[in-house]
Structure 1
Amino acid sequence: MDQWIETVLEQFGAFGVGMLMLLENVFPPIPSELVMPWAGYSVSQGQSSFLAVVISGSLGSFAGAWAWYWGARRIGKQRLAAWVDQHGAWLTISRDDIDRVDRWFGEWGAAAVLLCRLVPGLRTLISVPAGFAEMPPFKFSVYTAVGTVAWTSLLAVIGWWLGKNYGDLAGPLSWVSTGVIALMVAIWLYRLVQQRRMRARSTTHG
């Protein structure tokens, strides 16, 4: 994937940065931890403008975050809960889980949106509870924009500062994102196994 990301950015420049950051939010396995440091490296080589790559990357990331927020808001918590009642077993999600997330977001709200934009793997997902909670669009936009610009700028500065050695840090950072996703999958598998065991015991005792 590293080579593909570099090819896209070499061909499309700042526009490619925005395109990949949009995809990163829609399809999280594309890591911003590789995209933005490479963009910063291109700045150090005089191939791009720092302002251009940060603006483009931030706009792409912001658009992806808004897509998740808008989708969650349109679906709504009640419609999701009804769907989970019928099909949530395979996702190991129950109506109680949705209520817990809703209460958690109700407590943290804006702080969660802002801070999670700086956490690999959670940057995309935080838009979902924000949408279900019907967080005001303007408030969501402001905190998302601040967190997004901070994240893209930080990674671009790292790539710019490291120059040709940007891969020394971009690689480990991409593993953080992959590790968070892997942890989420592991938790899902654990919950699925536990759920099936509980059902088996219930059937046996019944």
Structure 2
Amino acid sequence: MEEWINSIMNEFGYLGVFLLIALENIFPPIPSEVILTFAGYMTLSTEMTVANVIFVSTAGSVTGAVILYGIGLLLDVERLEKIIDRWGKVLRLTKKDIHKADAWFDKYGPWTVFFCRLIPLIRSLISIPAGMSNMKFWLFLILTTAGTLIWNTLLVNAGAILGENRHKIVEYMDIFSNVVYVLIVLAFIYFVVKFIKSRR
């Protein structure tokens, strides 16, 4: 995959960075750390600049996030209630559970969106519940852009500074990502067990 990413950026430059990062937000398995560090590295041997790469990659990231936000809007609470009416007994969910989750996101959603933009995998997916909860679009846009700008700035500059050694960043990010994935699985198991106990 890395060779494919590199070839696209070598051929299309800024447009390649924009498209890859937008795609990465919609399909999280595509590693943004590889895209951004290589884009930073490219600024050492091409006419691309760090500032422009950060700008283009942030625009691409926000574009992808807005698409997922729109998908979340299509899955709003009313639609979820209809799903619960039909499949609630099978899923062991009630409308009350949906409203609790929605209330939680209304209360903590803004900070959640901002901080999750700094966490692998979750950084993309957080846009969906933001849309589902009908979070104000302007607020979502500001917080998503702010979190994304920090993430992109760090990785693009790391690629530019480390140059040929940029792979070390990717290796460390892989370790960080694996830790995050384990924590997500553990958190999921915890909430499932807690939910089952509460139902009993």
Q: Which residue of 2 aligns with 1:116?
A: 116
- The question of 1:57 aligning with 2:73 is answered no
- SS of the counterpart of 1:44? coil
TM-fit CA distance, 1:103: 2.8
Calculate the TM-score normalised by the size of structure 1.
0.80
- The question of 1:101 aligning with 2:101 is answered yes
Calculate the TM-score normalised by the size of structure 2.
0.82
Query: How many residues in Structure 1 have an aligned counterpart in Structure 2?
Result: 194
Change (3 A) 1:105 1:38: same
Give a deviation string over 1:145-166, Cα, whole Å, max 9, x none: 1111111111101111111100
What residue ranges of structure 1 are gaps of 5+ in the alignment?
Answer: 199-206
- SS of the counterpart of 1:135? coil
TM-fit CA distance, 1:38: 0.8
Change (3 A) 1:15 1:77: same
TM-fit CA distance, 1:44: 2.5
CA contact (8 A) 1:44 1:161 kept: no
Q: Which residue of 1 aligns with 2:136?
A: 136
The share of aligned pairs that are identical, in percent, is 34
CA contact (8 A) 1:34 1:174 kept: no
Give 2:16's aligned amino acid.
G
Give a deviation string over 1:108-153, Cα, whole Å, max 9, x none: 1211111111111111121122112211111111111111111111
TM-fit CA distance, 1:175: 4.7
Q: Distance in 2 between matches of 1:121 and 1:68?
A: 13
TM-fit CA distance, 1:180: 4.0
Give a deviation string over 1:28-61, Cα, whole Å, max 9, x none: 1001111101111111233521122111111111
CA contact (8 A) 1:101 1:129 kept: no
Q: Distance in 1 between matches of 2:7 and 2:157?
A: 21
Give 1:5's aligned amino acid.
I
CA RMSD of aligned residues (A): 2.9
TM-fit CA distance, 1:19: 0.6
